[in-house]
Amino acid sequence: MAQEKAVAAYYKALTEPHKSAIQKLRGQILEVCPDADEKMAWGMPTFVFHGNLVHIAAFKKHCSFFPGSGAITEIMKGDLEKFVTSKGTIQFDPEKGLPKTIVTKIVKYRMKENLSNGK
C-alpha cells in the first residue's frame, strides 16, 4: 500500500509536459506487460516483472526511460540514434515522447531477459 501511494504521489507531482509524457510512457509499458507491478526504486517509478523490468523518470529538461539492461542501448543503437543515450538511460524530449515501437521492443526484450534469468 505504501508503494502504491508513493508511485501515485510521484505521478501527481509532475507538471506538463512531463506529466503527459510520463503517463503515456507508463501506459505503453503496461500495455506490453499488463502483469507488471509498480513500485518506487531509486526515487523513480519502477516496473517489476520477475525482477525489475524498466524505470521511468522526469527531470527538469527531459524525461528518461531506463531499460534496466546496459545491453539494450547497444543492441538498439540504430533505433535510438535520435536520442541521448548512455549505458543505462534513454533521454527524450517530453513534448516528443518515445516512439511506441521502441518502448515495445525494449519491454519485450526485458521481459524475455527476466524470464530467462529465472527471476
CATH (domain of 7)? 3.90.1150.200
From CA 32, how far away is CA 87, in angstroms rounded? Answer: 23
The predicted structure's pLDDT at residue 118: 67
| Residue 100 to residue 52: CA distance in whole angstroms | 20
Alpha helix segments (H runs only) across the chain: 2-13, 18-32, 70-75, 100-116
Reduce the DSSP state of residue 78 to 3 states and report it. Answer: coil
pLDDT score recorded for residue 1: 66
Residue 32 near residue 107, CB atoms below 8 Å:
yes
Selected residue with higher pLDDT from 74 and 22: 22
CA-closest candidate to residue 73, choices 84, 58, 61: 84
Give the per-residue pLDDT at 74.
87
pLDDT, tens digit, 9 for 90 and up, residues 30-65: 999 999 999 999 999 999 999 999 999 999 999 999
**pLDDT of 117:** 81
Count of structural domains within the chain: 1
Q: If you average pLDDT over residues 77-95, what whole number do you get?
A: 93
- pLDDT for 71 beyond 90: no
- Evaluated on CA atoms 85, 88, 94, 100, the torsion sign reads positive
Distance CA 2, CA 11 (A): 15
Query: What's this model's pTM, rounded to 2 decimal places?
Result: 0.93
Q: Domain range holding 92?
A: 2-116
**Selected residue with higher pLDDT from 3 and 26:** 26
